Amino acid sequence: MEIRNWIKNNSETDYKKFSERLIKTKYKIVGIRVSKLRKFAKELLKKYKIEALKKLSDDIYEEVMLQGFVVAYYDASIDAKRELIDTYLHKCDCWSLIDSFASSLKLKEKDYNAGWQMLADYKSDQLFIKQYPYIERFVICLSMNLYLNDEYIDEILNYCKKLDDRDYTVKMANAWLLTTAAREYLDKVIDVIIELDEETLRYFKGKIRDSYMISEDKKERVKDICIKK
């Protein structure tokens, strides 16, 4: 009752309509802003700890997102959270449930290698990950958010080359990662885009063009490569 009352008091009709236009999901959308969901998830964790998950249903989109935030903010090692993460990811059926979770999952230094191993475990079962494209989107988004550095960049970009037969949501995330990587690793990214399928390349060009974080000279280099391709 406590959670349903909070949901009722914090839902907005106009935001519900906006969200329904933007998000395609099997869950019922009631229209609560993400900032409010993040704050409430922290309150639930403080009050109920991880038992807060048992108080959230799988019926409402915002309650599913709350589950993701509770798991992300839960102060435990990545190994202790692996099952919780996997359970949440299997509930995700749209980009927003994935992206909000991936952007919230922060790893302590001691968990950094374990987090990478988690992503490697998902990637290792290609049949599984093709059946669950939103889990692969999570792999890409978390790689982008936490692992775009000298140690992991080559392995990440090599994986990006292999995603030409994927769902739209994966290709769009791939283009997003490549655009982000181009800020620091443009030469390496160029080696990838010359091998991209036409659909992913189109998404990438759009994201590069619209990015405020990519300098104009880098945009021109990418444009020249794309024309030659």
pLDDT digits (tens, 9 = 90+) for 45-85: 999 999 999 999 999 999 999 999 999 999 999 999 999 99
Report how far residue 60's alpha carbon sits from residue 65's, in angstroms, rounded to the nearest whole number. 9
Question: What local confidence, expressed as pLDDT, does residue 214 receive?
Answer: 85
Looking at residues 115-135, what average pLDDT do you find? 91
Percentage of the chain exceeding pLDDT 70: 99
pLDDT for 155 equals 97
Closest to 65 in 3D by CA, of 34, 22, 107: 34
Calculate ∠ Cα 106-89-77, nearest 5°.
35
* Cβ-Cβ contacts under 8 Å for 99 (sequence gap 6 or more): 137, 141
Query: Lowest-confidence range among 43-47, 72-76, 137-141, 201-205?
Result: 201-205
- Class of residue 105 by CB neighbours under 10 A (exposed 0-12, middle 13-18, buried 19+): buried
pLDDT in tens, 5-18: 999 999 999 999 99
Q: How far is the CA of 188 from the CAs of 129, 150, 164, 169, 201, in angstroms?
A: 25, 11, 18, 23, 15
**Token pair listed for 202:** 């189109």
List the chain domain ranges. 1-106
Q: What pLDDT band is residue 225 in, cutting at 50, 70 and 90?
A: confident
